Chains A and B, each alone.
Chain A
Amino acid sequence: MSTATPLSLEAHRSPGETDAHRRLRGLLEQGLPLTPRPWCTLAEQAGMAEEEVMACVRRWQADGMIKRLGLVVRHRRLGIQANAMVVWDVPDERVALVGRRLARETAVTLCYRRPRRLPDWPYNLFCMIHGARRERVLAELTAIVERLGLDDLEHRVLFSTHAYRQCGGRYVQEGAA
């Protein structure tokens, strides 16, 4: 079994957390073993009891450390190729409201506020719209702009043209996994 330790988790252990808990978090980042009793398999690897592993996972779900638990899909692999990052320049007093309204749109998969870096970068709100095709994504965007009345906001669409690396939020140290 790999002994890869996710760097970030290593540094962010909560007070009172045992080595076994940290090992468990590292193992979880690599995914569940596809065995009939995956928590039991993990428990053996982490040096814990199966019940304890499940309790730990439930606690991390409850406190938000784990956002979701399930199948992590590689969208590009399925042909969801059009990946548009839409960036907006929103007056500061409106940005939270616009962000929350964009986030409620089904087509919007991520929505963040980030700092402007003037003069090079005037945009402070980012959202992602994924779709099978570019035209479809642009049509969705047009509909959203109309529906939310955002036509006064300066925005740009940055489609991705190539993925040099796509991996889903893993914090495992390079080359260690």
Chain B
Amino acid sequence: MQCHVQDLDRLDRRLIDSYQRGLPVCTRPFHTVAERLGTSEAEVIARLERLQSLGVLSRVGPVFDHARAGASLLAAVAVPEAERDVFAELINAAPGVNHNYAREHDYNLWFVMTASDEPELEARLEALEARLGVPILRLPMLEGYHIDLSFPIPWAELERI
């Protein structure tokens, strides 16, 4: 489900634009944020609660470095398009899957498999491969040039759709 950007006012947008990174690590961070944005601490907290309940924010907090927080890799399978939903459900049911997208390609399901370490990661992939009955393409990251999803939100463009 989509949230209408029209429902987000100027303060909501400034919060999002200013604090996808750089939340201060001090005793009362939301108070500092409020001062910088010219509002009250209670207002900032209320806005964040609302944005979370709308699902616009998954959380407020740290994003850990995947590579250092455990083992993970990008995986893909090629399955019959007519049975894609069934395969996608099997993938979602497997432990460690944290993204799962359909994409326009012969490899039509793409997901991220995670585990505590490399042997567990491989074991999870092998178990899932056995369930699915199709080979899993394994594409670990070898080098990251840019790993950050905190890009600017194109508010004006979103208002036109």
CB distance B65 to A34 under 8 Å?
no
CB distance A164 to B100 under 8 Å?
yes
CB distance B101 to A164 under 8 Å?
yes
| B161 proximity list for chain A (CB < 8 A) | 79, 132-133
Q: Which of B59, B72, B143, B152 contacts A113 (CB 8 A)?
A: B143
Interface status of A20 (Cβ within 8 A of chain B): no
| A7 proximity list for chain B (CB < 8 A) | 70, 96, 114-116
User: Given that A36-B45, A112-B144 are contacting pairs, would A169 and B98 also be in contact in the complex, using a CB cutoff of 8 Å?
Assistant: yes
Interface status of B36 (Cβ within 8 A of chain A): no
Interface status of A111 (Cβ within 8 A of chain B): yes
Q: Which residue of B lies closest to A55 (CB)?
A: B25
CB distance B142 to A115 under 8 Å?
yes
Distance in angstroms between the alpha carbons of A133 and B90 in the assembled complex:
30
- Chain B 118-154: CB-based contact to A (< 8 A → 1; otherwise 0): 0000000000000000000111111111111111111
Q: Which of A65, A115, A120, A136 contacts B140 (CB 8 A)?
A: A115
Distance in angstroms between the alpha carbons of A72 and B55 in the assembled complex:
10
User: Given that A28-B62, A36-B41, A54-B25 are contacting pairs, would A165 and B100 also be in contact in the complex, using a CB cutoff of 8 Å?
Assistant: yes
Distance in angstroms between the alpha carbons of A31 and B53 in the assembled complex:
14
Interface status of A94 (Cβ within 8 A of chain B): no
Distance in angstroms between the alpha carbons of A89 and B158 in the assembled complex:
32
Nearest chain B CB to A175 CB, angstrom units:
9
CB distance A68 to B150 under 8 Å?
yes
CB distance A96 to B101 under 8 Å?
no
Total B residues in contact with A, Cβ cutoff 8 Å: 88
CB distance B2 to A69 under 8 Å?
no
Prevailing SS type, chain B contact patch: mixed
Nearest chain A CB to B149 CB, angstrom units:
6
| B48 proximity list for chain A (CB < 8 A) | 34, 71
| B154 proximity list for chain A (CB < 8 A) | 80, 131-132
CB distance A69 to B22 under 8 Å?
yes
In this complex, which of A25, A36, A54, A120 has the most chain B Cβ atoms within 10 angstroms of its Cβ? Answer: A36
User: Given that A28-B62, A161-B104 are contacting pairs, would A109 and B5 also be in contact in the complex, using a CB cutoff of 8 Å?
Assistant: no
- Chain A 57-98: CB-based contact to B (< 8 A → 1; otherwise 0): 110110011111111111111111101010000000000100
In this complex, which of A78, A120, A130, A132 has the most chain B Cβ atoms within 10 angstroms of its Cβ? Answer: A78
- Chain A 145-177: CB-based contact to B (< 8 A → 1; otherwise 0): 000000000001011111111111111011000
21 pairs, A vs B, C-beta closer than 8 Å: A12-B69, A12-B117, A28-B61, A36-B28, A38-B30, A67-B64, A69-B21, A70-B21, A70-B60, A72-B59, A76-B2, A77-B54, A79-B5, A96-B143, A113-B145, A130-B151, A158-B105, A161-B102, A167-B98, A171-B64, A171-B70
